[in-house]
Amino acid sequence: MTDLAQDLAAFITSAPTPYHAVAEGVSRLAAAGFTEQPEAGRWDDGPGGRYLVRDGTLLAWFVPEGAPPGTPMRIFAAHTDSPTLKVKPRPDIGTAGWRQVAVEVYGGALWNSWLDRDLGLAGRLALYDGTTVLVDVHRPLMRVPQLAIHLDRQVNQGLTLDAQQHLLPVWGLGAASEGDLIEFLAGEVDVDPDEVAAHDLVVHDVSPPARLGEEEELLAAPRLDNLASVHAGLGALLAAADNAAGVIPVFVGFDHEEVGSSSATGAAGPLLETVLTRLAGGFDARGAAFATSRCLSVDVTHAAHPNYLGHHDPTHRSVPNGGPALKVNANQRYATDAPGAAAWQRACRDAGVPTQVFVSRNTVPCGSTVGPILSTRLGIRTVDVGIPVLSMHSARELCGVQDPGYLASAATAFLTDPA
């Protein structure tokens, strides 16, 4: 792999959940000299790089030397969560001699992509003393088995899955016993199982990221949506910290985008607004600062699917290794407008990277992302972009190996653009 593709693969492997993505981001920021800003602690308004963590959401910023109150901000916004299967509070179930795990679907997962895959289990254990412990069983532990074709002769004419009945992973044999799964996980991280009060756990594909194609021009990996953007944003912020002048570069990776962003750690919550208000110098100063700030909302976009081209607009398709795509929607499912698009085009020109334009087919409504939420909540001009990804919301997705580098370079130019 190229160095950047290899680093992205390592980042994805280290981040099976939003909590792990935040931990890996903090590790990289701390190594670059960023220090923690405790959310409940005294606010540090001096120059330098800082980060703030709340659960599965990470914010980080760099204040240049001598930046006055009201300095414009350049914001890179992404999300740390991905569609998956989340473990229910009482997970231990089973029947017919199989031990299984009770799960529910998180986000718009492509259900069939989770069938017959080697799955691990990761997340956090919340203890009675108020602390949390990260856990990642990164080895084949469970599987969602599909019914053999002999017992479902019409399956190739249309697979029908019931999320309550057909998506339950198996993880062993014997009778199910309440507490088994948590006892196992507690042992993995050397915690007394009796001290575990609650948990946030998800399954994840343990197959490692891989290069595909004759010239290895593609990268296959889980959670490209949206860890590819988180990885690029962190890299762009670190690069911008060396070149920021006249602006304050900011990174935010939100949790809960895949389920609508309406949470204390989601884009619809108050966390980013609170931090930006403090960075602006307070409520009275933020009006002018917000008016001159810009936000880059970064989430992957649909690559043109060669087997389903009829689902794409014929003149606004995005292709792998063609550069990140500017995302436009007349009904404001994306927040991009002409001045925002011009700022993005300028960033790409300054960085020397290609870009594309994605507009959804009129008969195929597009999804949305954090961009419209942030522009509505903050009144900051926002532009939506993303690298093209094939099989989005699958347990394993595909992108061009050059596109993450293109995105990081253009994002760095965006975060340092004083115009």
Two structure tokens written together for 63: 């204040």
Confidence label for 166 from pLDDT (cuts 50, 70 and 90): very high
The predicted model gives 274-302 an average pLDDT of: 96
Cα–Cα distances (Å) from 90 to 180, 192, 396, in that order, read 10, 18, 27
Confidence label for 245 from pLDDT (cuts 50, 70 and 90): confident
List, in order, residues 6 or more apart from 257 with CB less than 8 Å away.
79, 81, 226, 266, 267, 299, 369, 370
- DSSP for 296-349? EEE--EEPPPTT-GGGS-TTS---TTS-PEEE--TTSSS---HHHHHHHHHHHH
The predicted model gives 258-270 an average pLDDT of: 97
Tell me, what's the pLDDT at 244?
81
Closest CA to 294 of 234, 341, 235, 359: 341
- pLDDT exceeds 60 at position 1: no
> Using one digit for the tens of pLDDT, what is the confidence trace for 344-368?
999 999 999 999 999 999 999 888 9
Sign of the CA dihedral running 358, 58, 279, 257:
positive
DSSP state of 147: P
The predicted model gives 332-342 an average pLDDT of: 97
The predicted model gives 103-117 an average pLDDT of: 97
Tell me, what's the pLDDT at 243?
83
Two structure tokens written together for 364: 């195929």
Tell me, what's the pLDDT at 2?
65
> Using one digit for the tens of pLDDT, what is the confidence trace for 42-76?
999 999 999 999 999 999 999 999 899 999 999 99
**Cα angle value 138/143/147 (rounded, 5°):** 165
> Using one digit for the tens of pLDDT, what is the confidence trace for 177-229?
999 999 999 999 999 999 999 999 999 999 999 999 999 999 999 999 999 99
Q: What is the mean pLDDT of the chain?
A: 96
